[in-house]
Amino acid sequence: MKIKIKETAKQKKNFSLYKLAQELNLPQQTVYSWAKGRTQPSYLNLDRICDILECKIEDILEAEPVQSKLF
């Protein structure tokens, strides 16, 4: 899954990642790590993000294309 936190925060509320971290009461590094794809937010944090940004989970998560295996 690709996480579009930065784009969604900017589009829905004009929030920076720093502002979103403040609203979530989480370390800035945590939110940046999600945005870079190094880690993923828990379901609880995804729900909190959606509440704050007034969006759906589909707005934040994006399915990555499945690559065919070559033999």
pLDDT tens digits for range 1-19 = 678 999 999 999 999 999 9
* Segment holding 61, helix H or strand E: strand 61-62
pLDDT at residue 64, as a whole number:
66
How do residues 44-63 score in pLDDT, each as one tens digit? 999 999 999 999 999 998 86
| Token pair for 37 | 């794809």
The confidence band for 68, taking pLDDT boundaries of 50, 70 and 90, is: low
Q: Which pTM was predicted?
A: 0.82
40-to-31, 34, 57, 69, 70 alpha-carbon distances in Å? 9, 5, 13, 25, 29
- Residue 69, pLDDT > 70, answer no
Of 1.10.300.10, 3.10.580.10, 3.10.20.30, 1.10.260.40, which CATH number belongs to 2-62? Answer: 1.10.260.40
Sequence spans of domains, the chain: 2-62
